[in-house]
Structure 1
Amino acid sequence: MPVDVAVQFTFTGPPLTRRDAEEVVELAAAADDCGLHSIGTGDTGFRLNEAASRVTLLALGARRCHVGMRPTNPWTRHPQLAAALLATVDALTGGHAFVEVATGDSSVTSVGRRPASRARLEEYVRCVRDLLAHGEAQYEGRTVRCFTERPTPARISIGAEGPKMLHLAGRIGDAVSIGTGLTPEVVEDSLARVRAGALAEGRPPGSVEPWFTVRSCLHRDPREARRRLLPSLASILHHSMRAGVEGRHVPERHRTAVEEFVARYALADHQRAGGANEELVDRLGLADFAHERWGLAGDADGWVERLRQLQDVGVDRVWLANRGTVREVRDTLVQFRDEVLPRLR
């Protein structure tokens, strides 16, 4: 069975210019032509490149694939605004909008908040669904309203990087982005926890579509790919382990180093190439661990081999990463389309 592929576009650099915006629309059309299941972009103002505008540009170029924000969080985007964006993107794409909700990391810490609780996230998701279906919902003890002429279907995914979030995703999600890792024991455990959550809510165990978050870098030089991926691996190592290592399949030999890494993580260098977090993950001897746990780095041959290995352990839906300037992101997509995708289908 072919692997289903979705791609996260992260545009680095200053806010998009008009020409950049035109190229993002063209990028979405190219993603459509690749047959991708979904394309998305993250919700953070931390880097001053506003998210709703990027999602809208992607929606203007896409015709078939799902388009959405992933992830947003209950702190920085009010559920009324999330519902409005979903309805807008749904109309632009002819019914292919989605949103992914997680507890928040740099986007919430940078505005002085702590990651949202699971209870708050659940209330948020139910509020967004009720607004889209009925135009009225309860949130934080208040009535929230929006004008709606017709119900809008809401495909809501839950970003989950720990055991309790996986269970919650099984209870309330249409899909789940599993960020716990890609090793066989982690994959098996994560899927079991999602199924258990669905059963606890009285849902069929297969009612939640599982996708695996893969931190990835495609480059013709495999060593350069591994080097470039380190800042991204550092970020997911931090927020997947910030609640502790217990129950998260961390080998005993790495536990102390992981705990030190989480304690010393520098928000100001979040996903910054050449920053303190990249240096720290390398110095603590965690680079190989992070690559094996979450990574996909190499040339086209390495990508095909790794993706086939992942399929063998039950990973057949993947969220890949494509990070850089708009032109760099486009060039990587073209390489993926020409050199990797045909060999997976």
Structure 2
Amino acid sequence: MRAVQITAFGGPEVLRTADVADPKPTEEQVLVDVTLAGINYRDTHYSELTESPGMRLPVIPGMEVVGRTEDGRRVAATVPNGGYAERVAVDATMPVDIPDAVDDFSALALLVQGTTAWLLLHESARIRPGESVLVQAAAGGVGSLAVQLAVLAGAGRVIAAAGTPAKRELARDLGADATVDSTREDFADAVREVTEGSGVDIVLDMSGGEITRQSRAVLAPLGRLICYGMASRTLPPPVGLPELMDSSTTVSGFVLEHATTKPGLLETALRELYDHVTSQRLRVVCGGVYPLAEARAAHEDLCARRTVGKLALDVAR
């Protein structure tokens, strides 16, 4: 079968298309013929060995797929790796049946990025109607969904941060009440201006580094900052307990895998997301579907911040 392999660690240039042996499922696995493989920012960390330092080469990246099982079920599934391929062996408990009214691309976008956005707001931030929400990277895969889900959850005001005029315009089209240029050195001051000095109740941040520091600075009393990524590859300055107590703020982290420890939580998120999509209350933004052989170009575009919404690989091309 055709697959994308990493045979040496590095940047996008290490992604190569190769012919490899088909996976052989164990008794606890099912084989999925892949239609689309999802591209996530986390995949770029894997190729650079900034995550999973014990990973052995060669490896096929990719943590989410949509396709069909051998018995004909149309499913979406997450995998530890191996998604950038024509076929993948999946733990038998992982495939999720896709409703007929939900297309493959939307199902792929909702599986990881949609559930992440939903859980950030409803589980980690515990959003309440009327609260204000600042979404960093608001035109990205998670951010574009989080903007809409915050509106659907009754947020009093949704502020979208993004680095280009086109991305900020997209966020407005998705329902953001205001936008802020995330590249401004005085970003925190800009947010305070938009909120008339009151700050925000919830910040969703996947950037790390300086953006996280400024995100903390704009929290209103009792505000919550949820960190779910480190796209800048830079750790934010440490935060001490006295600083948090100054305005009773909370800083917390989120990794999707931990949601699997609560039975039914991911299923609840997906049911609501599917319902929002089928009723056209939630729009999945397609940032590009690349042929399998162009995985390198997809990673280059993603790392250069040239993309919006969800990216995918079409394994048949």
TM over 0.5: no
Q: TM-score, normalised by structure 1?
A: 0.28
Q: TM-score, normalised by structure 2?
A: 0.30
Question: Counting strand residues as a fraction of each chain, which structure ranks higher?
Answer: 2
Question: Counting helix residues as a fraction of each chain, which structure ranks higher?
Answer: 1
